[in-house]
Homo-oligomer: A and B are copies of this chain.
Amino acid sequence: MFESAEIGHKLKKSEYRREEPKLRQALLKAQYDLLDNGKFPVIILVNGVDGAGKGETVNLFNEWMDPRHIHTHAFGAMTDVEREQPEMWRFWRALPPKGHIGILFGSWYTDPILKRVMGHEKRAVFEHRLERIRHHERMLAAEGALILKLWFHLSKPAQKKRFKELLSSRKTAWRVGAGDWERWKHYDEFVDVCEDALRDTSTGEAPWQVIEGSDPQYRSLTAGRLLLDALTARLKGPPPKLSPSAPPPEPPIDRRNVLNSLDYTKSLTPKAYDKRLEKAQARLNQLTRDRKMQERSLVMVFEGMDAAGKGSTIRRMTRAMDARFYRVIPVAAPTDEERAQPYLWRFWRHIPGHGKAVIFDRSWYGRVLVERVEGFCSEADWMRAYHEINDFEEQLAEAGAIVAKFWMAVTPQEQLRRFKEREKIAYKRFKITDEDWRNRKKWPQYERAICDMIERTSTEVGPWKLVAGNDKLHARVTVIESLCDHIESVL
């Protein structure tokens, strides 16, 4: 992987002086075209060996282009807030919005590579983390991002020479620390691990570009041109969308599915309800105050057809919890800041820290429900979403989150009854809109989307609980009880 970056690439200063002004003018123009276009972000990952010119290149990019539209993020040690979150959390927060350039200095590659070199993590863990990165980058690319992955390389003797050069001047000696020499001793292991990492993550949508770092002129011009070429090509039009591997399956011939095979006749008398509800709420209250919860978080998802009783169930549940413990996020139209990001971004921003709960009233599943049915996104987009969502929830679970997902199911007849009831009662009228009636007409399409969703996203870490909700009392108690069961099983 690094062979061609150890052959001593060089460029004459005179050639650099001739080419640099043209390059920077073209880059600046491309940057403004990107800003005008406003349809995709550019994510530049800067990685490589120490002393190979990473910092210099980042500074140069900021100098060549308009630094006001470049977001440079350097990732060092995690803050205590970041440590409670999935590792990708801090990278999500650093994503540039559409139209902008984000430079991630020390990206999602740094930690897996270092941990592997130091022997802190086994090969299997390393490979799992690389796989996660591949998924992450594929998702970003599918969402439109242009990803440029730059790797700056130096051979072992070249790195030694570079450190000595830096040390020889008072102006630059501070840049070489004891840690650098320490890492230099591990050069061979480091490069071995990096080769593995690069090979495993050089994909069609986000290939690595290895740049030999010993000659500043060669390095700078190469990096600049790679950015310019990628940006220019992308501005001409997005790459063709990959079609999904397999079209979504037809519904089963006998029309039986997980929704219509639920038992909708279950019900509770008000008296039985009161008794069981009180018990379930007390149990939930205890569980949320469990010591172990201080190292955990709770992410709840409520989905269901209109008037299925999501809101009233959430309220019965929150009554069992301290208001300082939970936050309810009602998912409505995205804000403009959210629209400038991949669709999962607006959910990542609400992920709770340890000892906290977030209840999503509708969620990222909108992608495979309303967006699918209404055609707000392409088939390829919602088809890939199943995997992206599973990956997202897996990351939450790995960081200690308990993921609980509820589908509140009602029959079409019961929905109709509730719509009519809502129209009659003054203070409930705000809950029923024309859109609800329109959605209702698409019941079969929704049913199909729901069944696909449950089949493809009911995972070990994030199982779906389907609740027959024709009887509200039964539904509420069932949700709280099954939430308790789920929390207990995890704790």
Other-chain residue from B32, B324, B328 in contact with A67 (beta carbon distance below 8 A):
B328
CB distance from A62 to the nearest CB of B (A): 5
In the complex, the chain B residue whose C-beta lies closest to that of A63 is B319
Partner of A430, one of B32, B68, B80, B328: B32
Q: Is A55 among interface residues, defined by CB-CB distance under 8 A?
A: yes
Is A372 interfacial (CB 8 A cutoff)? no
Q: Find chain B residues with CB under 8 A from A178 CB.
A: none
Instruction: Kindly name the residue among A29, A289, A322, A329 whose own CB sees the greatest number of chain B CB atoms within 10 A.
Output: A322
**In the complex the two chains form, is A427's CB within 8 Å of B25's CB?**
yes
CB proximity of A82 to chain B, nearest CB, Å:
9
Using A67-B315, A68-B328 as known contacts, say yes or no to A58 and B323 having CB atoms under 8 A apart: yes
| Majority SS at the chain A contact face | helix
Q: What are the residues of chain B within 8 A of A421 when measuring CB–CB?
A: none
Which of A69-77, A269-277, A401-409, A412-420 binds B? A69-77
With A and B bound together, what is the CA distance between A62 and B318 in angstroms? 8
Q: Is A154 an interface residue (CB 8 A)?
A: no
Interface size class of A (residues with CB under 8 A): 35 or more
Q: Is A335 in the interface zone, CB < 8 Å from B?
A: yes
Contact A322 B427 (CB under 8 A): no
- Are B55 and A322 closer than 8 Å at their CB atoms? yes
Q: Does A208 contact B (CB under 8 A)?
A: no
B427 and A74 contacting across the interface, CB-CB below 8 Å: no
**Binary contact readout A84-121 vs B (1 if CB under 8 angstroms, 0 otherwise):** 00000000000000000001010000000000000000
| CB closest residue in chain B, given A330 | B68
Q: A67-B318, A174-B289 are in contact. Are A323 and B79 (CB under 8 A)?
A: no
Q: Is A20 an interface residue (CB 8 A)?
A: no
A459: B residues at CB distance < 8 A? none
Let me know if A361 is at the binding interface, CB within 8 A. Answer: yes
Among A66, A81, A324, A328, max chain B CB count under 10 A is at A324
Residues on the B chain within 8 Å of A81, using CB: 79-81
- Shortest distance between the CB of A287 and any CB in chain B (Å): 14
Interface residues of A in 271-321 (CB under 8 A from B): 289, 311, 314-315, 318-319
Could you tell me the distance between the alpha carbons of A61 and B319 in the complex, rounded to whole angstroms?
10
Asked if B72 and A318 sit within 8 Å, CB to CB, the answer is: no
Residues of chain B within 8 A (CB-CB) of A330 are 68-69
Q: Could you tell me the distance between the alpha carbons of A398 and B58 in the complex, rounded to whole angstroms?
A: 32
- The smallest beta-carbon distance between A128 and chain B, in angstroms, is 29
Complex contact B72–A327 (CB within 8 A): yes
Question: What are the 10 A-B residue pairs with the smallest beta carbon separation, nearest first?
Answer: A74-B324, A68-B330, A58-B323, A72-B323, A68-B328, A62-B323, A67-B328, A59-B323, A335-B337, A79-B81
Known contacts A68-B329, A70-B328; 10 additional CB pairs below 8 A are A29-B427, A63-B315, A63-B318, A68-B314, A68-B361, A72-B324, A74-B324, A80-B81, A335-B335, A337-B337
